[in-house]
Amino acid sequence: MIPEKGFRVLATVKKVKGTCNACHKLGDVVHLSARNPNGLCGYLYYAAFPYLLMLQFGGSFPWDDSGTVMVDCPDTTNRVTIELRRIKSES
């Protein structure tokens, strides 16, 4: 497999409202990339994907260049909130 390009991105579970059906817990940390959800729930990965691409390939919002984005699961009853954080060194 061709190695990933760009920056590494970490997803950290910051909040869990209710009971996550994918068993994500507060404090869980996973490395994500455009090609690897690394165990993240498919619904949450789908919600995070546009931001993941932006962070992995060096983009930012004009109002915030911190390299972090908060993303909520689409399940409003059992909502998981993750922080996506770009790791400064490129892979």
- Asked whether residue 1 is assigned to any structural domain, the reply reads no
Q: Tens digit of pLDDT per residue, the chain (91 long)?
A: 678 899 999 999 999 999 999 999 999 999 999 999 999 999 999 999 999 999 999 999 888 889 999 999 999 999 999 999 999 875 4
φ/ψ of 61, rounded to 5, equals: -85, 150
**Structural domain tally of the chain?**
1
Q: What is the pLDDT of residue 10?
A: 97
- Asked whether residue 91 is assigned to any structural domain, the reply reads no
Determine contact, residues 37/45, Cβ cutoff 8 Å.
Answer: yes
Q: What is the pLDDT of residue 3?
A: 81
- Asked whether residue 88 is assigned to any structural domain, the reply reads no
Query: Whole domain around residue 12: which residue ranges?
Result: 7-83
